[in-house]
Amino acid sequence: MRDAARALAIGILLAAPTASQVGRALPESAQLADFEQTGAESVDDLVGRAVLIEFFAHWCQPCKISTERLNQLHERFEGVGLTVLGVTPEPRSSTDRFMRESGARYAYAFDQSGALQRDLGIESYPTAVLIDPTGTVVWKGHTQKLSDGVVLEHIEGAFKTPVWEWPKSTRGAVKALKKRRYGRALAALEKLDDPGVEETRAAILSIVEKRVKMFDHARKAGDYLTARRIAHDLQDELEGLSDEQSHARRFLDEARADDEIRRVLRMQEKLEKLRTTRLGGTRDVERLIDKVEALRRQAAGTYPAREAQEFLRELRAELR
């Protein structure tokens, strides 16, 4: 009962069930404070790294058990591109004591408002999400079920050295990277007469390639809402990389002119709004199911029909 009260207090149970968030960008609410046991001072400092975020609380016994696996992942993969980060909305005093007593050796930070865990659909502790070097959520679940193989798959192309450890000469590139301006970062590195930056340049180009592939995959799958979001971001991210930038710009022009794309976008936006519906009980869930089912029929044969079907499975699971 005590744990349930705590969960309610931080708003975990207030909203409709959300999608797993896998395949989506880390939300803008990822503004954490007071980083400990790391040289990072903000989420922006983790750019180009794969990041395993575990949401935890000091009163959660499974969280204490989970620290052993998190320590293992930290020690095994920190030097090849992974940052392990514990995140909590709790006060510093109880958190510092928990981390000390549990023997946690990885970084941790504070999400005092609980905004990030709400946006990621975190419904229980401990729950972790794995973010790849492009800033995309690629896995969500319990850390004990996260295999080394999955980590290795998604740290490919990550910065082995975090940006706060880069030499002063790369300050211009680091500033651009923290703003996700990959084109500007590459241009800054080009100005340096230092062959040692070639590995860094290759890592940035790998991120650019993955971002463009994500856009292409979403567009070809008919997921026009994701494609539009990525295309908008690419306009800034790829400044100076004209071929890749124009590829995304052409889609944005097409999306404004094509009636079918606009129709799909409207349905995806409507479904996204339905996902934010606040539910007070079984009847609310049933009413929401009726609305989502109607949208699924309307969207037959398009990507939002598949999204609606997945949401219906989540909602019906709530009624069991």
Structure tokens at 75: 């020690």
Q: Look at residue 40 in the predicted model and tell me its pLDDT.
A: 96
User: What confidence tens digit (pLDDT) does each residue in 49-75 have?
Assistant: 999 999 999 999 999 999 999 999 999
236 burial (CB, 10 Å; 0-12 / 13-18 / 19+) is middle
Structure tokens at 191: 């100005």
User: What confidence tens digit (pLDDT) does each residue in 68-91 have?
Assistant: 999 999 999 999 999 999 999 999
CB atoms within 10 A of CB 8: 11
Q: What is the pTM of this model?
A: 0.84
Q: Look at residue 20 in the predicted model and tell me its pLDDT.
A: 43
Phi/psi zone of residue 37: left (φ > 0), alpha (ψ -120 to 50 degrees), beta?
A: left
pLDDT over 90, % of the chain: 78
Q: What is the DSSP letter of 26?
A: P
Q: Are 146 and 73 in contact (CB under 8 A)?
A: yes
Q: Look at residue 23 in the predicted model and tell me its pLDDT.
A: 58
User: What confidence tens digit (pLDDT) does each residue in 146-162 have?
Assistant: 999 999 999 999 999 99
For residue 123, give the amino acid letter. Answer: E
Could you tell me the pLDDT band of residue 247, with boundaries at 50, 70 and 90? Answer: confident
Residue in 253, 289, 199, 211 with CA at minimum distance from that of residue 17: 289
Structure tokens at 53: 């975020």
Q: Are 303 and 265 in contact (CB under 8 A)?
A: no
Q: Are 83 and 114 in contact (CB under 8 A)?
A: no
Distances (CA, A) of 223 to 56, 114, 302: 33, 29, 9
- Residues 260, 251: Cα–Cα separation, whole Å: 13
Could you tell me the pLDDT band of residue 185, with boundaries at 50, 70 and 90? Answer: very high
All structural domains of the chain: 2-154 (3.40.30.10), 166-257 (no CATH), 260-319 (no CATH)
How many Cα neighbours within 13 Å face the side chain of 97? 6
Alpha-helical regions (H) of 78-180: 92-102, 115-119, 148-154, 171-178
How many Cα neighbours within 13 Å face the side chain of 101? 12
User: What confidence tens digit (pLDDT) does each residue in 251-292 have?
Assistant: 999 999 999 999 999 999 999 999 989 888 999 999 999 999
